[in-house]
Structure 1
Amino acid sequence: MSPASVFSEIPGGESLLKWFGRIPRFHDAELLEISFPDKGAGLLRIHAWNITDKVDAKGYFVLDKHAIVTLILEDVSNISCTDFAMVPCIIFDLEITRTEEHFRIEWSASYGVAGFIIAKHAHINLKPGKPQ
Structure 2
Amino acid sequence: MYIPGILAVWNFSSEGRKPIKSSCVNFGQRNTLAEPGDDNEMLDWTPVIQWFGFIPDFHDAEVISMDLRRAPELSTIRVDAWRTLSDVDERGYFKIDRRAVVCFVLRNVVRQEISDWNHQNVLNKLTVATEQDGQVLNLETIYGVGGYFVAQEITVEVKPVSALDTGTSLNG
TM-score, normalization by structure 1? 0.86
Considering fraction of residues, name the structure with more strand.
Answer: 1
Query: 1:50-69 CA deviation, whole Å, 9 max, x = no partner?
Result: 11111111100011110111
Matched, 1:2 2:38: yes
Matched, 1:46 2:90: no
Match of 2:152 among 117, 120, 125: 120
The aligned counterpart of 1:98 is 130
Alpha-carbon distance between aligned partners in 2 of 1:3 and 1:26, rounded to the nearest angstrom: 17
How many residue pairs were aligned? 126
Q: How does 1:1-132 map to 2 (within 5 A)?
A: 1-8=37-44, 13-36=45-68, 38-40=69-71, 41-84=74-117, 86-100=118-132, 102-129=134-161, 132=168
Alpha-carbon distance between aligned partners in 1 of 2:139 and 2:133, rounded to the nearest angstrom: 20
Tell which structure's C-alpha radius of gyration is larger. Answer: 2
Percent identity of equivalent pairs:
25
Alpha-carbon distance between aligned partners in 1 of 2:112 and 2:133, rounded to the nearest angstrom: 16
Alpha-carbon distance between aligned partners in 2 of 1:18 and 1:64, rounded to the nearest angstrom: 14
Q: CA deviation at 1:87?
A: 4.5
The answer on whether the counterparts of 1:31 and 1:87 sit within 8 Å (CA) in structure 2 is no
Considering fraction of residues, name the structure with more helix.
Answer: 1
Alpha-carbon distance between aligned partners in 2 of 1:87 and 1:81, rounded to the nearest angstrom: 15
**Equivalent position SS for 1:15:** helix
Unaligned segments of structure 2, at least 5 residues: 1-36
**Equivalent position SS for 1:117:** strand
Query: 1:82-131 CA deviation, whole Å, 9 max, x = no partner?
Result: 213x2541111100112246110001111111000000012212111157
**Coordinate RMSD, CA, aligned:** 1.7
Runs of 4 or more above 4 Å deviation: none
Q: CA deviation at 1:6?
A: 3.0
The answer on whether the counterparts of 2:43 and 2:154 sit within 8 Å (CA) in structure 1 is no
The answer on whether the counterparts of 1:102 and 1:118 sit within 8 Å (CA) in structure 2 is yes
TM-score, normalization by structure 2? 0.67
Q: CA deviation at 1:3?
A: 4.8
